[in-house]
Chain A
Amino acid sequence: MGNKQTIFTDEQLDAYQDCTFFTRKEILRLHGRYHELAPHLVPMDYTNEPECKIPLALIVDMPELKENPFRNRIVESFSEDGAGNLSFNEFVDMFSVLSETAPRELKAIYAFKIYDFNVDNYLCKEDLEKTLNKLTKEELTSEEVELVCEKTIDEADLDGDNKLSYSDFENMITRAPDFLSTFHIRI
């Protein structure tokens, strides 16, 4: 229908449409944004699925992520090598999970990954301290930070091991009414 684009084959676009929460037009637009970030690295023709990754430093410069205190963690949790270098698939995945139509479980899993700074599959006290400092730009004193972390673990920890596993986190998220609307980046 309409203009013939040569970036992706039709099957590729259909596959992207089914696996992400974007329409064809949005996927093409995302490819445009991806290409803008590193025009010399990213080929315009994706029909034979090239292997190219954009480094972390270029991605966190995007206007949607620039001011976000969690930008490094977001990009790292969506990259498969853990260092923040995103291929186009991972780039699309990131914005698809952060779009408004992604289901709650998906968002909860990635939110857990983002807040897990030391990547040990648990939210321990150090993770919470780092999260809190990023949230309040380090305006709280250290006793206040201690207190808030203690209280948070107290409230959410269900199995009593003094750190939050994914099931504790998920249980707390289900009680949050505006999680879906706050965990959302518009692109």
Chain B
Amino acid sequence: DSNQVCLCRETTKTCWIAALEDQDCPPLNYINVCLIVLQVQQMQVPASSNAASWKHNKTKSLRKLKNNFWEFLYYFTLWGRSLQKIGGNFGGGVQSYFLFLRFLVVLNFVSFLLIAGFVIIPSFVLGSAESGFVNRPCMTYDPNPNTLVAFYEYFLHLLSGTGFMEDSFMFYGYYNNNTGTEDGSRAYNIPLAYIFTAIFYFAFCLCCIIARSVAVATGGSTVGNYSMIVFTGWDFGCLGNQATKLKQKNIYYRLQVDLEEERIKKQAASLTPWRKVALYSLRILMFVVALGLIGAAFFGIFKATDFSQVRDGQPGFLGLLIEFLPSIVITTGNFLVPLLCDQIALIEKYSPSITVVMALLRAVVLRLVSLGILLFTLCSQITCSGNAEASACQQCRYDHEKYPCWETRVGQEMYKLMLFDLLVNIALLVCLCFLVCVRIVVDNWSCKLSQLVGRQEFVVPSNVLGLVYGQTVVWAGALFCPLLPLMNTIKFVILFYCKKITLFHNCRPALKTFRSTTSTFFFLVVLLFGWTLALVVMIYSLAVINPSMACGPFRFFPSMWKIVPNSFYCLSKVTQDFLFFIGSQAFSIPLFALSCVIMCYFVALASIYGKSVEMLKAQLKLEGQDKQFLVKQIERLKLQHLMPALRAEVQD
């Protein structure tokens, strides 16, 4: 009977704990005490039936099955084993970069499924645009003029998104404004689906990022770091030499993070006032220098973008080079400036966690604003710098000579940026393979030369910024190139393996690791910067710029957003009234007030719990001290009591 078993176990536990606390009792094992208690119990109660033990067996095997299932699932977690290996060999800091990469891969894949389900598949099913040559003003657009091309031109088209790639589901221009109302039987409004999917995609990404940053921020506990690591850090189930060594290194790295911060705190506390002043003024100077570097980089990029847009349209390889000029300048700037900022960070001497965050924040502004400048230049070219009366923009309200289908053109620019980033990374990997070969050869010849071709540390901030930049490009371009999230997923998967190979073959573990919870949180903050930039681009394209008249689902609307109010008035009267009510003040103000009240309640609850925890801790300490005091009193009284008795005995 399972109740009997529980009772037996409870009794055993109490007896056993009492026996342990009794100083005179010899050490007993739990099982021996249990057997004795069982014997005593069985003398009083008849033997249990077989059915009970069968039930006990069944619950045991069910629990085992559940555990095995969870382990099996964990085995299939994307890259679970690789990430464990990386964390053990290089520490939590480098592992946080790969965890961030995995998060982005999953995010991109899920958003691709979203876009495919609501936009691409319905478009495919309901038929594509009529790709005829219409000779009317503003409507002259032929994406693929030469269907028969030479082989090398085919390759050029693949790299720059023109030709056969432009005339496919990849770009905005291929989708038609089929609202399905002509058939009557199945109404699927593609333009409406397109715009709502884009908006929902942004909202979904924002929710994912915020959910993850909350999980990261509340996941790590700062209380009892050292004792947790020392007493619960070791996994007793670790089997095998490799796993044990990995675990030991892991624990070493976790302790290193805390120890490094302690050392820096001690150093900072031991500075004289003059040295403190010197350090702070040096830090301010370096901050100004960093700002200067970033400003110079902006200027260079602006000039390059202007040059590229002015000299556009040249054929052949030179034309391709000019097309890629902004990307080249941006990548060079993003390579040089963080390098210089790293040298600056050596002078500033912050703790490793703060150094990483500073490097991130300095370089992110450069990366994102350079992208912003490119987009801004494109936008001013398309709308003739906002001047609707300029000769090129007068007819169609956008420059239809240079950009017959401007959305596709913007999508192509984003596609080129993404592709160039990937090609650079693959090229770096190839260079690395070459370097490793050189090192092997050189090692066999002389040792001094091999020190020149030494191993670097894996620099986390610049790699994370590469990811943020790539993701921002995808977000900005998703409205104009719906297949971009899928291509980005593939790109990030390739990037994972490239970086992993680079890490294991060319990098040594960092001497000082940084705390991964702080850094992961800041990775997500920086990702939000990128999201905001892409949001600005999307809002501007939806609401301000006129859509192309020659292509796309929003052909004859004054702006892309206009389709929503138009469709709104097609809904039934009841739905319209309901939606008006939700948007009105009578509903939103009480809702806002209610959410404020709920938030205040939770904040108050949290602070009360925190206070009671502190109070209870202090009380525990006092109890302990009281106990010690009482024990000392008892000893003293015992002695006082014994002394006269002893004296009497001695005298006798």
Contacts and interface: CB of A to CB of B under 8 A. Distances in A.
Interface in B207-240: 223-228, 230-240
A136 B232 contact: no
A117 interface: no
Nearest to B244: A67
A106 B34 CA distance: 13
B490 interface: no
A35 B571 CA distance: 80
Contacts of A161: 628
Nearest to B31: A93
A68 interface: yes
B230 A132 contact: yes
Interface string B2-42: 00010011001100010010000011111110110010000
Given A19-B12, A132-B230, A24 B31 contact: no
A49 to B, nearest CB: 10
Interface stretch (B60-68, B109-117, B164-172): B60-68
Interface stretch (A38-46, A52-60, A175-183): A175-183
Contacts of A111: 231
A51 interface: no
A147 B259 CA distance: 8
A136 B248 contact: yes
Contacts of B625: 159-160
Contacts of B235: 182
Most chain B CB atoms below 10 A, which of A67, A90, A101, A160:
A67
Nearest to A186: B237
Contacts of B620: 158, 171
B30 A17 contact: no
Interface SS of chain B: helix
Contacts of B12: 19
A147 B38 contact: no
Given A24-B57, A96-B31, A135-B248, A183 B628 contact: no
Interface in B593-652: 620-621, 623-625, 627-628
A179 B38 contact: no
A13 to B, nearest CB: 9
A182 B234 contact: yes
Interface string B484-496: 0000000000000
Contacts of A128: 230
A183 B17 CA distance: 20
B621 A159 contact: yes
A15 B251 contact: no
Interface string A112-138: 000100000000000010011001110
A151 B57 contact: no
Interface in B238-261: 238-241, 243-245, 248, 251-252, 255, 258-259
Interface of A: 1, 11, 14-15, 17-20, 23-25, 63-64, 67-70, 78, 80, 82, 89-90, 92-93, 96-98, 100-101, 103, 105-106, 109, 111, 115, 128, 131-132, 135-137, 139-140, 144, 147-148, 151-152, 155-156, 158-161, 169, 171-173, 175-176, 178-179, 182-186
Given A15-B38, A80-B28, 18 more contacts: A11-B47, A14-B48, A17-B56, A63-B239, A80-B26, A80-B29, A89-B35, A135-B234, A136-B251, A137-B245, A155-B224, A160-B625, A160-B628, A172-B224, A172-B228, A173-B231, A176-B231, A179-B231
Identify the 9 closest CB pairs spanning chains A and B, nearest first.
Answer: A159-B624, A19-B34, A93-B31, A67-B244, A151-B226, A176-B232, A136-B252, A156-B227, A152-B226
Interface of B: 5, 8-9, 12-13, 17, 20, 26-32, 34-35, 38, 47-48, 50, 53, 56-57, 60-61, 63, 67, 223-228, 230-241, 243-245, 248, 251-252, 255, 258-259, 262, 620-621, 623-625, 627-628
